Structure 1
Amino acid sequence: MEIVNFFYNKSLYEKAEVTFFIHKALIEELLPESDVQHVGSTAIPNSITKGDLDIQVRVKANIFPKAVKELAKLYELNEGSVKTETFRAFKDDSTVPPVGVQLTVINSEFDFFWKFRDVLLMNANYRKEYDNLKRKYKGMEMEDYREAKNKFFEKMMATLEYKNI
């Protein structure tokens, strides 16, 4: 049973930003045709976080197989995540903060991480609601939190802000 915890720490956000730019440069060196985005809670100023850095790597469909191979040189495949022809998840738990990389085909069903970030940046009420959801699940089972988070993001996908991006 994995327990989830959240916190806010300004120095973590600063470290996440530096770490993002380091990884972005590494990824773009291997995949210059990719769109590398800082996503997740560390991309949202003043939000609470689990303390990891999330990166979305967006590529065209014809580049996806190459991107999987190239990212596997830098990161471990996240075996606990979904694996499709348009999505792969990678991780590096040895960095500070730990890094999660979501590889997506542009305009595929999993190409939404950057949109969630943008909607949260645009709407303070959604940010508050998301932080409150995190507070509610602090110290609880990760699976329960993930289920609630998925429902929150499904609701967000129905909003005009999300649809207009």
Structure 2
Amino acid sequence: MSEDGAELLRLDPSELSGVAAERLFRALWRRLAAVLPADAVIEHVGATSVSGCLTKGDLDICVQVSEETFAEADRVLVALYERNLGSVRTAGFSAFKHDELRPPVGIQLVARGAPLDVFVRFRDCLRADPGLVDHYNALKRSYDGAAMSDYRAAKSAFIEQVLGAAGQVRPSQ
């Protein structure tokens, strides 16, 4: 936090972040798969899921479900995790968090094909192109220690650019 209380971007210099995130993802995947609707696809997304990508040291999980099972999945997740009130919430998107886990966890629930169903596609674009990872890392370095809101705006623009170049323009998260 800054002196004025604003949340700041702090990159985690540890190379162990990805290992810890993957281990926690596997444990949470089992728990989530047991309670979510049968059509749920649970994916490790975010920087810790991409080799060489700089990270804040958290674990991001995307849960994709059909429009028909979105409300049921939302009820399941809100019973297990805190709703992320700092994130947008729509008919096809909800965000949850668990800050006390190590690493901290963010879960994005999306209806397949909804405007914010971008997490897996963005991860896959990064995994397929090391040059994109380099550009993303440069963006992250330029905002390290800066206001998280400024970083998120720049990150959203970058995601839109990447997905637009891939022919998959979607509104930012």
Band the TM-score falls in, shorter-chain normalisation: over 0.9
Q: What residue number does 1:10 align with?
A: 15
Q: What residue number does 2:34 align with?
A: 29
Is residue 154 of structure 2 the alignment partner of residue 144 of structure 1? no
Distance of 1:78 and 1:127 partners within structure 2: 27
Distance of 1:130 and 1:40 partners within structure 2: 12
Q: What residue number does 2:68 align with?
A: 62
Q: What residue number does 2:140 align with?
A: 134
Q: What residue number does 1:99 align with?
A: 105
Distance of 2:113 and 2:106 partners within structure 1: 20
Q: Give 1 or 2: higher helix fraction.
A: 1
Q: TM-score, normalised by structure 1?
A: 0.95
Distance of 2:135 and 2:117 partners within structure 1: 23
**TM-fit CA distance, 1:158:** 1.3
Distance of 2:49 and 2:149 partners within structure 1: 23
Q: How many residues are matched?
A: 163
Asked if the contact 1:92/1:99 (under 8 Å) is kept, the reply is yes
Per the alignment, in what secondary structure is the counterpart of residue 73 of structure 2?
helix
Which ranges of 4 or more aligned residues in structure 1 deviate by more than 4 Å?
none
Q: Which one-letter code corresponds to 2:58 in the other structure?
A: D
1:51 equivalent among 57, 65, 71:
57
Identical pairs, percent: 37
Asked if the contact 2:9/2:145 (under 8 Å) is kept, the reply is yes
Q: Which one-letter code corresponds to 1:145 in the other structure?
A: Y
**TM-fit CA distance, 1:122:** 0.4
Gaps of at least 5 residues in structure 1 are none
Distance of 2:31 and 2:111 partners within structure 1: 19
**TM-fit CA distance, 1:109:** 0.7
Distance of 1:37 and 1:13 partners within structure 2: 14
Gaps of at least 5 residues in structure 2 are 1-5
Q: What residue number does 1:159 align with?
A: 165
